[in-house]
Structure 1
């Protein structure tokens, strides 16, 4: 495991960060995860770094004022091997690639103290020199932190400062595996550089299974029987405090060191109990703030998919409420038109086109969220939204069509049946069963839906281009909407029956009838005759339809391709081979 260790050569300030292979990051005075706030000679963004699994690539950012020194010489870029360091200002950056020793088995300690966390908080410090000040400083620093790594660094340093006879501090997290062992994930030591030795496996198991704060003391006098007791990593005392951090991560704080110096008449174990109280307060503060940050991050992520009103429906735990399940959904795909070709033609102006597209995508997502829909996914310059999960469609039965109509008005205009210009977006909607839910890890959330209904909505959206109609619906959407008193049968116009690419069953496709065109009934009659095989009558009626009406044009072209005669196996369905 590779880590970057940064320390101020003029003070005790430092941090240690784990490196992720092939994930670039920036070191600077104001960067969020790798900040060097103590050194004014470090620019806001000073160097870009990438760990490739073997070496650390370091590149000075052009805007950075002061040089980056490696091997006592200023460098613009270089490759750093583990064990080597570079310097910016009065800050030294050391690359380490070492694994901490895993917990080790041991025999019984000389003394064991087990205390419930609530009992610790109810007692007072026996000796409090400087600890109240440290705790006040801790709260101030931690509440100003913006991420888990910053909280972790502050906690480890405050523990070493507040427990002078401690040597190592280790945070262990429980693995998500069958073995479910606790493994070291972060640590700090008195000298700031050394990798901690092994922790006591028995002590960790005792504390985590009982959810107690446990202290072990091993003998150090030469007269004791060494065969009865075993020290761990050269330490004669250690304590372990169970924690719950992030959202649901089980963890343990392990602190160890050499024998405490007795102060007056205070017994040794009582002195270490003071240390337990201090460590428990620091650890619980860290754990609470870590969970708060994780919840804020989760809420921020969920806000990208849900409106606050939708999340107000949560009456049980969030995990169960958002778990994937089968539901009756209404799915909408909205795809922007012309961006791909424009980007190819004006590749030298990609940023302006990207900004324009982002603004339009924001308009689409806002319309979906405003109607209590869920943002399911982004497919290039297309957005997928759906209704029916996590709450049933009955809660907002017209939400989907209202969102779609708002987008039609903003992107195509109300007179979309015979628009003078091509629509700026295509919207396809389908209704039916699908699986929807939140998938991913606890910290990285993705909400989506999948199943035949989703595929059908995507295919219907693709049909908007050849038909020239920006809003198309399948028969299930129309059936559900017609159940509402405000949506009579005349609200929709059937445009034909299509067998869409990749789908076996034909689909009746509709659009919204604005009531502004008196030729709509004529088209409906022509469509019936076309499907019945009376193409001569259908052709005569279609001549009365405006040439800019895409569905009428498509029927005319289809009949011309077949020499005005229906095929022998004609069933009234138009097969589409492409999206």
Structure 2
């Protein structure tokens, strides 16, 4: 595969990208994968790059403000061969062309060391100011990374800037641990190691393949592990390996946290090509990145023998690498913690679409799987449906996207009111929303909150629907509320979480919402909810009025339904006296005394549409109840 490397003024201003074969890409600022954010001289859309075989065509776009330089000349287009460069602003782009990704097999390392905490605590930083500057930019890098590629690219560049002796840095991911665990196991039996991203200090390596043995050992030890291989024979002959126990503390158990030197077979190392490193890299260490999100990630840092070194200087080289390992450990710990924090924020934001603030606070300090676990409990379910959608869809058939935006705003009114009153968003069904109370935190009575949420939804729709320029113009709502036992809980994954509730009470709330059209009232509640409101909710918050006994379509048991109304000071149309008159009329209706019921119901204001159904039912039957009258009005449809 062919690659392009971008390098800005500073070492960390760098990325490496694979060029797609035959598919043009746009280079510029803010262009996703091909973004060059550090160079103000590069336009948003600056150049078109097209891979043609093993050559790269670079074309200046019309909107580009600054030229492209190739071989020192300003050009509008250029056809690059491998290893050639072009420059825009202060950034140099190097085309690597097709690279042969064969690898030289790695054999046993001639030296291994596990870096425990006691070693790193005693190690002092060299050039601390530079390293602290790099570390200080980590939070910004992680927060601004749009995807995994951008994150890995930025991290690799920062580690290269912070570890001067590193020739190559990679982010690797450990595969599933399976197969033998001995140090002498066959390479083919080791778990896979994926390279998420890698880059080099200077263009020169034709391929890169991490040592799977090294990566696996680091993840097994859960600490940084260093491997040193010998340089190929043509470059540097090896002297006999000294007894490493004379220069470096020796321990039989690497888990003790002290360095363990494990010299390989010197004779074999001098004669076997398997004891060489890939592409001239003589040492590498792998540092696992801790944390839940990055549990399988690791920093892989590799380099070559210093010019001054020889095999007799092995202890000196290891000592020199300790400061680099300490820096890598700090980077890995910081990255792991920041990625976990960002994931928590992401999950909190996702949960915030469904859960009120007090639930989010509980999830932040307790195990979410415990707090949000499904369980059977008493709940109150509110089902809210948008009325007028079909009519508005016909009127705006030519602009359905605008209609969708209006529906979204309407659903926003519903969900915002539910969440503000401590409810959980359970589901969306087209132009309706369902919320519920009583889970996951069921402390005290929530009925006043249910009433406030329902009345708030109706009040906001009533205020805005009459305004022609309002997105809610032409819309109304119907709300059904029911209380009972149900199973409530979180289902799905962290990425696709959904809180929901199961049980007959959900179906009843939906049926009550449908009945609001039949009774010409905005909010209906079942008997259990009405009783709880009378006992637990102050009349200054909400009132209830019994309306009728009905058998909803699809249900066998009859239900006494009541209307939820605002407090008297907000509802001059229906006074407390009107509620008393209606309920007296209802009692007469249920008892079969329809003449008295008709007389009482006719005393109500004509604008009180809640009495319309009973009056119409009485008139339809000639003010005489049918034989075997049981007081129940059957509903023949939804």
Normalising by the residue count of structure 2, what TM-score does the alignment of the two structures yield? 0.68
Greater alpha carbon shift after TM alignment, 528-537 vs 499-508: 528-537
Inter-CA distance 185–228: structure 2 relative to 1 (3 Å threshold)? closer
Distance 1:96 1:507 in 2: 76
| Residue 211 (structure 2) aligns with | 200
CA contact (8 A) 1:105 1:202 kept: no
Once the two structures are superposed, what CA deviation does each residue of 1:369-409 show, in whole Å capped at 9, x if it has no partner?
A: 33222333444443332221221041644211122223333
How many angstroms does 1:551 deviate by?
4.5
CA contact (8 A) 1:168 1:196 kept: no
- Is residue 473 from structure 1 mapped to residue 525 from structure 2 by the alignment? yes
| Residue 210 (structure 1) aligns with | 221
| Residue 322 (structure 2) aligns with | 273
| Residue 394 (structure 1) aligns with | 444
- Is residue 136 from structure 1 mapped to residue 186 from structure 2 by the alignment? no
- Is residue 572 from structure 1 mapped to residue 632 from structure 2 by the alignment? yes
Inter-CA distance 65–544: structure 2 relative to 1 (3 Å threshold)? farther
How many angstroms does 1:277 deviate by?
1.9
Once the two structures are superposed, what CA deviation does each residue of 1:78-109 show, in whole Å capped at 9, x if it has no partner?
A: xxxxxxxx9998786999999x999x997642
Distance 1:547 1:533 in 2: 23
CA contact (8 A) 1:246 1:294 kept: no
Inter-CA distance 442–112: structure 2 relative to 1 (3 Å threshold)? farther
Distance 1:61 1:406 in 2: 54
How many angstroms does 1:272 deviate by?
3.0
Residues 455-494 of structure 1 mapped to structure 2, 5 A cutoff: 455-484=507-536, 486=538, 491-494=543-546
Once the two structures are superposed, what CA deviation does each residue of 1:102-151 show, in whole Å capped at 9, x if it has no partner?
A: 9x9976422111113574254213xx35x641441342364355345444
1:554 to 588, 592, 613: 613
Distance 1:176 1:464 in 2: 57
Inter-CA distance 287–454: structure 2 relative to 1 (3 Å threshold)? same
Inter-CA distance 195–347: structure 2 relative to 1 (3 Å threshold)? farther
| Residue 189 (structure 1) aligns with | 199
| Residue 123 (structure 2) aligns with | 123
Once the two structures are superposed, what CA deviation does each residue of 1:481-505 show, in whole Å capped at 9, x if it has no partner?
A: 33327369x9422223344445454
| Residue 288 (structure 2) aligns with | 242
Distance 2:610 2:562 in 1: 11
| SS in structure 1 at match of 2:436 | strand
Once the two structures are superposed, what CA deviation does each residue of 1:481-533 show, in whole Å capped at 9, x if it has no partner?
A: 33327369x94222233444454544332112556164444443454455566
| SS in structure 1 at match of 2:455 | helix
Distance 1:511 1:475 in 2: 10
- Is residue 442 from structure 1 mapped to residue 494 from structure 2 by the alignment? yes
CA contact (8 A) 1:117 1:213 kept: no
Distance 2:303 2:212 in 1: 16
Inter-CA distance 164–11: structure 2 relative to 1 (3 Å threshold)? closer
Distance 2:439 2:139 in 1: 37
CA contact (8 A) 1:496 1:510 kept: yes
| Residue 225 (structure 1) aligns with | 268
Q: CA RMSD in A?
A: 5.0
Distance 1:543 1:139 in 2: 77
| SS in structure 2 at match of 1:577 | coil
1:373 to 419, 423, 438: 423
Once the two structures are superposed, what CA deviation does each residue of 1:137-195 show, in whole Å capped at 9, x if it has no partner?
A: 34236435534544432211122344455454333445689999665262112167979
| Residue 256 (structure 1) aligns with | 302
Inter-CA distance 262–164: structure 2 relative to 1 (3 Å threshold)? farther
Distance 2:67 2:515 in 1: 57
Distance 2:122 2:358 in 1: 40
Inter-CA distance 96–176: structure 2 relative to 1 (3 Å threshold)? farther
Distance 1:502 1:192 in 2: 73
| SS in structure 1 at match of 2:284 | strand
| SS in structure 2 at match of 1:508 | strand
Inter-CA distance 200–552: structure 2 relative to 1 (3 Å threshold)? same
- Is residue 155 from structure 1 mapped to residue 205 from structure 2 by the alignment? no
Distance 2:176 2:610 in 1: 56
Residues 29-48 of structure 1 mapped to structure 2, 5 A cutoff: 29-30=29-30, 35-40=35-40, 42-44=42-44
How many angstroms does 1:316 deviate by?
2.6
Distance 1:468 1:26 in 2: 59
Inter-CA distance 67–288: structure 2 relative to 1 (3 Å threshold)? same
Inter-CA distance 429–249: structure 2 relative to 1 (3 Å threshold)? farther
CA contact (8 A) 2:3 2:18 kept: yes
CA contact (8 A) 1:170 1:253 kept: yes
Q: Show structure 2 runs of 5+ residues with no match.
A: 20-24, 50-59, 69-74, 78-85, 180-189, 239-266, 464-472, 569-573
| Residue 575 (structure 2) aligns with | 516
Inter-CA distance 373–46: structure 2 relative to 1 (3 Å threshold)? farther
Inter-CA distance 486–292: structure 2 relative to 1 (3 Å threshold)? same
| Residue 7 (structure 1) aligns with | 6
2:481 to 423, 426, 429: 429
| Residue 259 (structure 2) aligns with | none
